[in-house]
Structure 1
Amino acid sequence: MHDAAPAYGLWSLVIVNSAVFILFAYTFFKPQTSRDWRSFGAFSAFLVVLFVEMYGFPLTIYFLSGWLQSRYPNIDWFSHDAGHLLEMMFGWKTNPHAGPFHILSFIFIGAGFILISAAWRVLYDAQQTRSLATTGPYSYVRHPQYVGFVLVMLGFLLQWPTILTLAMFPVLTVMYVKLARDEERDARVEFGEAYAKYAADVPGFIPRLSRILRQGSAGTYRHG
């Protein structure tokens, strides 16, 4: 049976999905400072651009349509499922929502939101006592919330890659690194030697495998 439902031009879905995911991210991140709002605003812009292409106007598909149609002639590139470019290009023959890239994207997105939430709770408690956040996710990396945002964006790129979001991803990543450096300068002023020791022991963004294994072994021993 031919499905006459439009694949794009669904601007109500653009608005609803953008609002839902932005509010969802807000409940995890809970921005307070101007720096928080800048990072959250950039992430929100990424989501809006993503959903505009996902449901509104498929700019990437139009831009690549000639190459896609010649390279993959048996695919209707203006169907909604075809927007999952990686699933289509790698020949996933069934529903793309059950494809490996889509499943992996949910793992990244879920892990990112969980990391943002867990880090916020630790940071909030530390702010209440004006102490340095060093437990939970902060025991693995110094900037877990920014790592969480990058994981969520990476997950969406795996699920629905577009030219604009691919262009935004490195720009936002660099912005988060710069914001993290600003935060570190403030922390060094406030906490002095304590932060210097913490920074020397804990990496900024990528956890050390040895530390993960050591922490996991310690947790197993304590709860065994």
Structure 2
Amino acid sequence: MTSETREMPHTHFFHLFFPITFALLVFLDVQFEISTILNVFIPVWVRLLIGGLFLTCAFFFIAVSHKILFGKTHSPPSQIIKSRIFGHVRNPMYLGILLVFIAVLIMSSSLIGTVYFIGIFLFYDKMARYEERKLEIMFGKEYQEYQKQVPKWIPRFSSPYRSN
């Protein structure tokens, strides 16, 4: 790993592995009705509506953060981005990915999928911690101050930083 690598090793593998295994697990759970008992109590239209809202938020976080981070260059930024979505939450792209998983869980009501999601969340938290340690090394006190001001996972409605 070079000093410029900010991602945890094998991250790309896990970005493929988790969605594939999660989709397979939830699909099998729904097909065989292993742990989807909540479907009896929650109408499908409610699950689809709420899941759709989560999916919309997920794609917003992913698209906006990707555009801000990489733009047309596809290279990581050389400074801390504190404005726009990054002034509300430190890991908007990972949050968006996690919201996709949550949307599927809401739509399917898969309890087995929920248990698997807990493991996925813990792994994404580990990836975020790894990357944040790298950013602390790169940017020092400025990044530590940013960490104090901006939450890691739950977005704030107001940002301590002005938007550009």
- Give CA-to-partner distance per residue, 1:110-147, whole Å, 9 cap, x none: 21122112111222149454222323321111111111
* Structure 1 residues 1-224: aligned runs within 5 Å: 34=9, 36-41=11-16, 42-54=18-30, 57-58=31-32, 61=33, 63=34, 86-90=38-42, 92=43, 96=44, 99-125=45-71, 127-209=75-157, 211=158
Structure with greater Cα Rg: 1
- Give CA-to-partner distance per residue, 1:54-84, whole Å, 9 cap, x none: 4xx42xx2x46xxxxxxxxxxxxxxxxxx6x
Aligned partners of 2:94 and 2:10: how far apart in 1?
A: 12
Letter in 1 for 2:12: W
Q: 1:167: how far off?
A: 1.6
Aligned partners of 1:204 and 1:187: how far apart in 2?
A: 14
Seen in structure 2, the aligned counterparts of structure 1 residues 53 and 37 have a Cα distance that, compared at 3 Å, is same
Tell me, which stretches of 5 or more residues in structure 2 are unaligned?
1-6
Residue identity (%): 21
Aligned partners of 1:36 and 1:134: how far apart in 2?
A: 24
Whether contact under 8 Å (2:8, 2:131) holds in the other structure is no
The ranges of structure 1 where at least 4 consecutive aligned residues each deviate by more than 6 angstroms after the TM superposition are: none
Larger proportion of helix: 1
Whether contact under 8 Å (2:51, 2:104) holds in the other structure is yes
Aligned partners of 1:169 and 1:129: how far apart in 2?
A: 30
Aligned partners of 2:155 and 2:94: how far apart in 1?
A: 13
Whether contact under 8 Å (1:116, 1:149) holds in the other structure is yes
Tell me, which stretches of 5 or more residues in structure 1 are unaligned?
1-31, 65-82, 220-224
Aligned length: 155
- Give CA-to-partner distance per residue, 1:5-26, whole Å, 9 cap, x none: xxxxxxxxxxxxxxxxxxxxxx
Q: Of the two structures, which has the highest relative contact order with CA contacts closer than 8 Å and spacing of 6 or more?
A: 2
Aligned partners of 1:39 and 1:137: how far apart in 2?
A: 25
